[in-house]
Amino acid sequence: MDVDFFIREASNRTQSEFELDFADIIEVFDRDSTTITTEDEKQMIINWENKYFRDCHIHLDHSDKVQLIINTLRDIDVDGETMQFILEKVGMEDQMLKQLISTASGFSLVHYLNLRAIEKNS
């Protein structure tokens, strides 16, 4: 049972019905929310309003957050200038430069430095 399954089930039941049917996997019962962990280890907080489904929040672990960021960057078809802007805003521009230099081949570094020199002289 995954996140979508529980969202469907919560949407089609009252809070009491949902909690009764899934009592064996519910971690926290609260007046306005129910907390469960899905089979794929996602912690969900289902919020209720007047005993009916309002919304839910899913707690993501680090790797899920990283994958979400990667997917978002792909969806917006991020370009180099935008990526540089993002790196500046998160304070990682220098770190990324060091990382790229330390992992680049000697040929790549010389090639890019030559291109940069040509651009400056043009």
Which whole-number Å values give the CA distances from 35 to 59, 106, 107, 118, in the listed order? 11, 53, 54, 60
Computed over every residue of the chain, the mean pLDDT equals: 91
Find tokens 């917006």 and name the residue.
76
d(CA 97, CA 42): 35
Task: Report which of residues 113 and 35 the model is more confident about.
Answer: 35
CB 30 within 8 A of CB 48: no
Q: Report the pLDDT value the prediction gives residue 101, as an integer from 0 to 100.
A: 83
Say what the pLDDT of residue 106 is: 78
Query: Is residue 67 exposed (0-12), middle (13-18) or buried (19+ Cβ within 10 Å)?
Result: exposed
Token pair for residue 110?
């010389």
Q: Which helix (H) or strand (E) holds 3?
A: helix 3-11
pLDDT band at 97 (very low <50, low <70, confident <90, very high): confident
Query: Closest by alpha carbon to 43, among 31, 51, 34, 52?
Result: 34
User: pLDDT at residue 114 above 90?
Assistant: no
pLDDT of residue 12: 96
Domain ranges of the chain: 3-59, 62-121
Is residue 54 within 8 Å of residue 47, measured between CB atoms? yes
Collapsing DSSP to helix, strand or coil, 49 comes out as: strand
The predicted-structure confidence for 52-93, as pLDDT tens digits, reads as follows 999 999 988 899 899 999 999 999 999 999 999 999 999 999
